[in-house]
Amino acid sequence: MKYDSEISRRRTFAIISHPDAGKTTLTEKFLLFGGAIQTAGAVKSNKIKKHATSDFMEIERQRGISVATSVMSFEYKNTLINLLDTPGHKDFAEDTYRTLTAVDSVILVVDGVKGVEEQTRKLMEVCRMRDTPVIVFINKMDRDGKNPFDLLDEIEKELSIHLHPLSWPINMGKDFKGVYSLYDKSLLLFQPNQKVAIEESVKVDDLSVPLLDELIGEKDARQLREDAELFHGVYGEFDQQVYLEGKTAPVFFGSAINNFGVRELLDTFIRISPEPRSRPATARTIDVHDDRFSGFVFKIHANLDPKHRDRIAFLRVCSGKFERNKFYHHVRLDKDVRFSNPYSFLARDKDVIEQAFAGDVVGLFDTGNFKIGDTLTEGEDFYFTGIPSFSPEIFKEVVNKDPMKTKQLEKGLNQLTDEGVAQLFTQHNGNRKIIGCVGDLQFEVIQYRLLQEYGASVQFNPLPFYKACWLVSDDKKKLEDFIRFKTANVVNDKDGQLVYLAQSEWFLNTEIANNPDIQFLFSSEIQK
């Protein structure tokens, strides 16, 4: 309980969206408000000359997309914000899903022109499964898009979540005049191309006052009054507790690229969003106010700084106080470890920290001791649950194009697949290497990083497999017989566990039916 004051001033959240909805742009505007950066990166599609602050990998700067979760910590109005900017591209959804296990709430960015897209639906499903509180930011209001009421109906229907507008737009596109905050009862007027200057809001407690007509014109003032009356009737008063339970999502409108409506979103977020929360574990629910330290690794990144070949494990502190140079219990390895240089992050920039509290994300220099899902404690043995592992859907054989770089290739494959976005399989009783991913773009990223970071040149040859299934059986002989008959389809994962690669759904169903004594596991929580 002695760390309650530190816990109460922390907010740890992820920004999620479909690609190109404006997620990374919104992230940078938050950093500007927090004084963490002085100038935003380019938000054009190429991002080659001047890249976004949160996209630190070379391939991200070239392709103009985020392919890895970035962690950023900054202070804003005496609140310590831990912001995780996630990949939007569907091929990197696994990284995003795991990141959602390490946050207490989410801001979902929706493109006001395109509306709800496929990836947005999948991300919301994960949030719903965990009852994660969600705030929706409808972006690009300075462009002609969908009617706000139609957009709200679409979001509610497509994402199966109740919405509650806390701001409301006055027109859109070239006629966009600003937003009215239903939460603060204030009017924020839009000035096109004002990307640096922040306009002050005007307090308008009563929409019937003549001042509203002077500020936005009689026609728009009349429309705003009608809209406000309508959604007060539909949505009623905002209930913060219902939001914290994940049952309703507050909605804000704005334009991230113009820095419009962003400060209002951030100000409201730090007032209503949840503090760090207690978390389920194998032994019990770990109380966030417990004085004993505990935390789990939700992400690993190799070569964050290519010059130093470092490997960083991202640890979410769940309870107690993390201290530099103090020994902690590594549950899976059953040994004590300490860290002389734990980091806090601002994308590629990192600072050594002396301590961290529940809600914080700490970067730990890793020599190969960590896997995703590992738990650190002050001595107790338990694992945090709910960290997903997914069965790959695309499989390719690794072909080494430069035999002189075999060692570099081995090291690169092991380190890059430790990051959790791809899985490495080795032919049972053989040397053939197979990479399994959930999306094609991952292979392009791995191929690029192997060459740039390890000097290993490879090509990937497609394989005709449909699904990977982990094999478990109490009957050792039945399992051995299955392996003998299915040698061409059986591989080992990096932990030496047996995996069956099925050619098709029919083959898989047939093997499941013919082998009732063997369990075929498609995905599982990562628990050692």
- The answer as to whether 369 is a domain residue is yes
pLDDT, position 125: 79
Which amino acid is present at 440? D
Whether residue 457 is predicted with pLDDT greater than 90 in this model: the reply is yes
- The answer as to whether 215 is a domain residue is no
Q: What share of residues in the chain are helix, strand, coil (percent, to 5)? A: 30, 30, 40
DSSP H helix total and E strand total for the chain: 14, 33
Cα(269)–Cα(240) distance, integer angstroms: 11
Domain end among 356, 377, 398: 377
pLDDT top residue among 36 and 380: 380
Whether residue 525 is predicted with pLDDT greater than 80 in this model: the reply is no
- The answer as to whether 132 is a domain residue is yes
Q: Are 439 and 92 in contact (CB under 8 A)?
A: yes
Of 1-15, 143-157, 221-235, minimum mean pLDDT range: 221-235
| 246 φ/ψ sector (left φ>0, alpha ψ -120 to 50, else beta) | left
- The answer as to whether 475 is a domain residue is yes
Q: Same structural domain for residues 347 and 395? A: no
CATH number at residue 291: 3.40.50.300
Cα(282)–Cα(331) distance, integer angstroms: 12
Q: What is the DSSP letter of 87?
A: P
Mean pLDDT of the chain: 82
Q: Same structural domain for residues 366 and 396? A: no
Chain Cα centroid distance, residue 206: 39
What mean pLDDT comes out for the span 3-21? 88
Phi, psi for residue 497 in degrees, rounded to 5: -75, 145
Whether residue 434 is predicted with pLDDT greater than 70 in this model: the reply is yes
Q: Same structural domain for residues 158 and 36? A: yes
Q: What is the DSSP letter of 505?
A: H
Whether residue 66 is predicted with pLDDT greater than 70 in this model: the reply is no
Q: Same structural domain for residues 312 and 286? A: yes
Domain end among 255, 272, 289: 272
Q: Are 251 and 163 in contact (CB under 8 A)?
A: yes
CATH number at residue 413: 3.30.70.3280
Whether residue 88 is predicted with pLDDT greater than 60 in this model: the reply is no
pLDDT top residue among 198 and 312: 312
pLDDT, position 296: 94
Q: Same structural domain for residues 364 and 435? A: no
Q: pLDDT for 231-286, tens place per residue?
A: 778 888 889 999 999 999 999 998 888 888 888 899 999 999 999 999 999 989 99
Tokens 């910590």, residue located: 73
What mean pLDDT comes out for the span 136-153? 89
* pTM score, whole prediction: 0.77
Per the structure, the count of domains in the chain is: 3
Q: Same structural domain for residues 259 and 114? A: yes
Domain end among 343, 377, 411: 377
Of all residues in the chain, the percent with pLDDT exceeding 70 is 85
Q: Same structural domain for residues 264 and 400? A: no
Q: pLDDT for 100-116, tens place per residue?
A: 888 999 999 998 888 88
Cα(50)–Cα(58) distance, integer angstroms: 12
Residues 6+ apart with CB under 8 A from 320: 3, 290, 291, 292, 293, 294, 357, 358, 378
Q: pLDDT for 470-516, tens place per residue?
A: 899 999 999 999 999 998 899 998 888 899 999 999 999 999 999 99
Whether residue 63 is predicted with pLDDT greater than 50 in this model: the reply is no
- The answer as to whether 209 is a domain residue is no
Cα(195)–Cα(42) distance, integer angstroms: 12
User: What range does the domain containing 333 cover?
Assistant: 279-377
Separation in Å, CA 78 to CA 26, 240, 512: 20, 21, 56
Confidence label for 210 from pLDDT (cuts 50, 70 and 90): confident
Chain Cα centroid distance, residue 287: 23
Number of Cβ within a 10 Å radius of residue 290:
18
Q: Same structural domain for residues 264 and 125? A: yes
Number of Cβ within a 10 Å radius of residue 212:
21
Radius of gyration of the chain (CA): 25
Token pair belonging to 235: 């949505």
Q: Same structural domain for residues 324 and 401? A: no
- The answer as to whether 25 is a domain residue is yes
429, burial (CB in 10 Å: exposed 0-12, middle 13-18, buried 19+): exposed
Of 35-44, 285-294, 357-366, minimum mean pLDDT range: 35-44
Q: Same structural domain for residues 306 and 427? A: no
- The answer as to whether 383 is a domain residue is no
Q: Same structural domain for residues 303 and 411? A: no
Which residues, in sequence order, are bridge partners of residue 2? none
pLDDT, position 94: 64
Token pair belonging to 35: 């004084």
- The answer as to whether 197 is a domain residue is no
pLDDT, position 506: 93
Q: Same structural domain for residues 329 and 395? A: no
Separation in Å, CA 28 to CA 130, 289, 367: 27, 31, 31
